[in-house]
Amino acid sequence: MRPNFFWPLATLSAFLLLSLPVPIARAAVQNRISVQQISDSSRAEMPDTVHPRARISADLGPAPAEMKLTGMSLRFLMTDAQSAALDQLLADQQDPHSPRFHEWLSPTEFADQFGLSQADITKVTSWLTAQGFVVTGVANSRTFVTFDGTVAQADAAFGTSIHNVSSGGEIHFANIRDATLPLSLAKIVGSITGLHNFHAHPHIHGVARPAFTSSISGSHYLAPGDLYAIYDMQPLLAGFTGAGIGTGANCHSVGGATCGDIAVVGAVDLTANNADVLAFRKAAGLSTTNLPVTVHEGGDPGPAQTCNNCYPNSGDLEESSLDVEWSGAMAPGATILFVNGPDVLANALTQAIDQNLAPIITNSYGNCEAAWGSGDLNTYNQLFKQASAQGQTILSAAGDDGATDCDAGLSAMEGLTVDFPASSPYVVAVGGTMFNEGDATGGTQYWLGTDTTFTAGSAVPSADVSAKGYIPEAVWNEDSAGNTFSATGGGVSAFFSKPTWQVETGAAGMTTAVPADGSRDLPDVSLTAAAVHDAFLFCAQSSCVNGFRTSTNNLTVAGGTSFDSQVLGGMLALIEQKLGSRLGNPNPIFYALGNQVAYYNNTSASVFHDVTTGNNSNPCTAGTADCPNGGSAGFSAGTGYDLATGWGSVDLNNLANAWTLVTPIGSNSVGTAVSSMSLTASSKSVTTGSSITLTALVGGSSGTPTGTVQFLDNNIALGSPIPLSGGVAIYTYNATCSTLGQQNMTAVYSGDSTYAGSKGPGVFANEAGKTGGATIASNGSVTTNPLLVTVTSSSCPDFTVTPSGSGFTVLGTNAAVSVAAGGTIPPLTISVSPTNGFTGTVSFSSSIVSTSGYTPAVTFSPASLTFASGSSTAQATTVALSGITAEMQPPAGALGRHIPFGSWYAAGSGATLASLLTIVLPRRRRLGSLLAVAVATVLVIGSAGCGGSSQPVSTGSSNTNPYIGTYTVTVMATYSNSGQSTTHSSTVTYTIN
């Protein structure tokens, strides 16, 4: 066994702590609102409070003034002193030598140290009431207040304007201006929730009902017993009862609320009387006496809707069904609370934490980081810190769209991105693997040859096992041409700095390592998630009639990291019972184990199955972020930790046995005091050939931090780290032709023996009321904003793209047209004009997203245009989409194409998402040699309208044109040379109705 290098420091820490008196009582939190009554006489803007999707949505006008808004909330910031004290507490709670080891707090105990004072809460609620709102609750932790009201009241109180907007074929409401608050209130508020209804989406993937069973086809589908065998769960299952995990002092239930072992969060009501869960448990041979208990938070979200663009829809029901089925299946005696609400994070997840409803919380919802405002990221992350202090473990799916989480497919354009909440340092990010047996069916080496008969009612089913034991795994990546992405999430956070525990000490034999990137990396661990080889069985919408089979002998199966967050949640419930204690954030233990060779190198004592094969790369578009030359973007597996599967999958029995044998990484081994990063630029605009100064100011609650600062441009390191001098680091940024356009500047502070690291986005220093990359409140609290620097040029070779066409509405480089079914789709001309001259070949490519369920192919004729030096003659290429015709009957297989449930970008426009992220997370444009020409390309979709006289497709009592829907085409003109490229695009949206 490799020596544990954390014991000496931990022992020293323990000695120092034991030498100090342990406080018996703590002083009450201080009042932070200095005025007797909150006044509207002076107000401050709350930056970044317009949702990113709302920024690029079509404005449909003001929402009705009388429309009811429920479940709104003000989320409060901590002071620097509170943040420092909380970070120290979290480190101590995970240090076996600290007097505060596993001394978990209740929400009310948390409030007394880290919430607002009761006097301040009274002032806030009085102000809300004066605005006409109905205050519906005050958090037990005193970190937020919830309230209901109307659109008119919200507009007036928050100085904004709430409109109806259209995004990706969906109608939403959202504030279209940043909110404002009275100055005394703005100093303590981090975010306002409930001003829009853009929701996180579920990570279920590839739902299908194949017309075969394994006894017929030889294919394998996963039942609970298979995972018991594959991940070595039987020894823990044998003694599992579920008793003692969610009861008594270990639960800290508040207000008489129900308390369970696992809280599963969701957005929709389950089928009546838990019918699907009951059918699943019967089919799997599980106990049917402890069915899930539903707890509504923020109101009853109601049943799923049948329309594709509704929320919640059938995808939410299938997600919620599999979540409670599989979390409960992994801990068969556990009490499962299904906590749902109108918004998964703002209602269900928030209250599961604030009411301390269970020691384990599983979540299958999320969005890429760029789809969240910085205020939401900050305040939810603070909420997750509260959960850790209460001993709660949060597990979240790492995403199903590979390393390019902001893109659903077919070709990534927004670069390497990760999913939130999984990217929070206080959440376990659970990635996906797929089996790698060496042949299509796995033969008989790893699987039994025939179906087995399930024995209903047994606590630990033994008959439903077709897997013999552990099966070798690779990275889950089932991408296929012409389909949306299907691969595990993983990569580098663009928002959160690296937590103290996320390190790798370089154990012998590791070929990969936790990157020294200063950022939170994910995933942490992974489990099987494949949607094809091999998918999970589950029951939804009364699908399980005969065992797992439908009435027509089909099976309901799916994949995705949704399953993994639920499965690992059940697994950790077994470990909690074995240890007799809550776990809190388990990541410090995972990384401590991963850094010891004996626990990761696939020996009989290994806690991790190290996954060394495969990648989570997706096809990407040349010239876009992280894809200068086309091909794919992502990360490969290797020996040790990697950005595709983390530490790999788990051997649960070995993990439980080793849990207490290591000292958690980060327990007082580095500084834990809070540091604040502010980043400024001497100008927010710079021309090529010139430079600007980037200044990072790192502050601390006491003293001056030391260490280094790494500056980054679009998350790419700029030179070497700069040592701090008096808490300041300066970098000279030289603008070149390869950095034209908006650049997202960030900086990462390394931390030192006193202070933890931090990551600093920012804004232009001279904007009114803002400084140091943030809005700074008088109490020292910080609300960060992106620091966007625009590089312009009057001499670099470049070109512009301008669409035009009869019937089109043109806005900048984007165009849109509505065509009645049966009408003629007009052609569009996209003109490409040069600046400063260039020569070479321009190649055309495209991506398309449709809401009809059918994605036609895009062709170019010719596919590229070559121009000689000095040429100014326009050339053209015709772009056509095959398959959109006047006929009502779709091509074979058109209606069978799967769009992932709940994926807002799959249901709408990938190009719209591209536009969104151009605002939120700008990309670097790389420009090559000179090219001079004016180019025009004619874009034509089909030669006839959608409609006609062919036989319609019957869906119930009405006839539906299968091509009705939205087709969003992004046409890209790309020039590449010597490893660099530049791409300009035009987004064209065709709505057929």
| From 124-138, 420-434, 763-777, 863-877, the region with the lowest mean pLDDT | 763-777
Most confident of 3-12, 339-348, 594-603, 807-816: 339-348
| From 194-198, 290-294, 398-402, 922-926, the region with the lowest mean pLDDT | 922-926
- pLDDT at 658 exceeding the cut of 90: yes
Q: What is the pTM of this model?
A: 0.72
Q: Which pLDDT value is given to residue 946? A: 29
**Who has greater pLDDT, 794 or 679?**
679
pLDDT bracket for residue 304 (50, 70, 90) = confident
Taking residues 278-284, report their average pLDDT: 92
**Who has greater pLDDT, 760 or 294?**
294
Read out DSSP for 114-130?
Answer: HS--HHHHHHHHHHHHH
pLDDT bracket for residue 667 (50, 70, 90) = very low
Taking residues 317-322, report their average pLDDT: 92
Q: Which pLDDT value is given to residue 339? A: 95
Q: Which pLDDT value is given to residue 440? A: 47
Q: What is the pLDDT of residues 202-256, one digit of tens each?
A: 766 554 433 323 444 556 789 998 999 999 999 998 866 554 444 333 444 433 4
CA neighbor of 454 nearest in space, from 723, 223, 219, 128: 223
| From 122-136, 327-341, 836-850, 929-943, the region with the lowest mean pLDDT | 929-943
Taking residues 343-364, report their average pLDDT: 95
CA neighbor of 235 nearest in space, from 593, 648, 654, 586: 654
Taking residues 163-182, report their average pLDDT: 88
CA–CA separation, 695 and 301 (whole Å): 47
**Please, are residues 265 and 202 in contact by the beta-carbon 8 Å criterion?**
no
**Who has greater pLDDT, 904 or 424?**
424
Q: Which pLDDT value is given to residue 962? A: 58
CA–CA separation, 152 and 174 (whole Å): 13
Amino acid at 723: P
Read out DSSP for 536-590?
Answer: EE---TT--SBTTB-TTS-B-EEESHHHHHHHHHHHHHHHHHHHTS-----HHHH
Torsion of CA 206, 212, 218, 220, to 10 degrees: 40
- pLDDT at 445 exceeding the cut of 90: no
- Say how many CA atoms lie within 13 Å of 169 toward its Cβ: 29
pLDDT bracket for residue 977 (50, 70, 90) = low
| From 470-484, 753-767, 903-917, the region with the lowest mean pLDDT | 903-917
Taking residues 834-854, report their average pLDDT: 73
pLDDT bracket for residue 852 (50, 70, 90) = low
- pLDDT at 420 exceeding the cut of 90: yes
Taking residues 875-902, report their average pLDDT: 45
Taking residues 136-152, report their average pLDDT: 96
| From 507-516, 824-833, 895-904, the region with the lowest mean pLDDT | 895-904
Q: Which pLDDT value is given to residue 851? A: 66
Tokens of 981: 């490229």
- pLDDT at 755 exceeding the cut of 80: no
CA neighbor of 547 nearest in space, from 464, 668, 659, 458: 464
pLDDT bracket for residue 951 (50, 70, 90) = very low
Q: Which pLDDT value is given to residue 259? A: 63
Taking residues 639-655, report their average pLDDT: 94
CA–CA separation, 866 and 862 (whole Å): 10
Q: Which pLDDT value is given to residue 934? A: 35
pLDDT bracket for residue 580 (50, 70, 90) = confident
**Please, are residues 609 and 470 in contact by the beta-carbon 8 Å criterion?**
yes
The set of residues, in sequence order, having a beta carbon less than 8 Å from that of 665 and lying 6+ positions away, is 6, 500, 501, 503, 588, 591, 592, 595
Read out DSSP for 372-406?
Answer: S-HHHHHHHHHHHHHHHHTT-EEEEE--SBTTBTT
Tokens of 858: 């895009």
Cα 288 to the chain's mean position, in Å?
33
Taking residues 395-403, report their average pLDDT: 95
Q: Which pLDDT value is given to residue 113? A: 95
Tokens of 923: 């990309």
Q: Which pLDDT value is given to residue 711? A: 87
**Who has greater pLDDT, 706 or 960?**
706
**What SS3 state is found at 347?**
helix
Taking residues 923-952, report their average pLDDT: 31
**Who has greater pLDDT, 448 or 262?**
262
CA–CA separation, 52 and 913 (whole Å): 10
Q: What is the pLDDT of residues 482-503, one digit of tens each?
A: 678 999 999 999 888 888 888 7
Residue 575 to residues 174, 242, 589, 603, Cα–Cα distance (Å): 43, 11, 13, 21
Tell whether the torsion through CA atoms of 588, 594, 597 and 602 is positive or negative.
positive
Q: Which pLDDT value is given to residue 94? A: 87
**Who has greater pLDDT, 240 or 877?**
877
- pLDDT at 808 exceeding the cut of 90: no
**Please, are residues 394 and 428 in contact by the beta-carbon 8 Å criterion?**
yes
Q: Which pLDDT value is given to residue 956? A: 31
Q: Which residue has the tokens 């003001």?
A: 62
- Say how many CA atoms lie within 13 Å of 305 toward its Cβ: 10
Tokens of 17: 């702590």
- Say how many CA atoms lie within 13 Å of 470 toward its Cβ: 22
- pLDDT at 764 exceeding the cut of 50: no
Q: Which pLDDT value is given to residue 761? A: 59
Summary mean pLDDT of the chain: 77
- Percent of the chain scored above 90 by pLDDT? 35
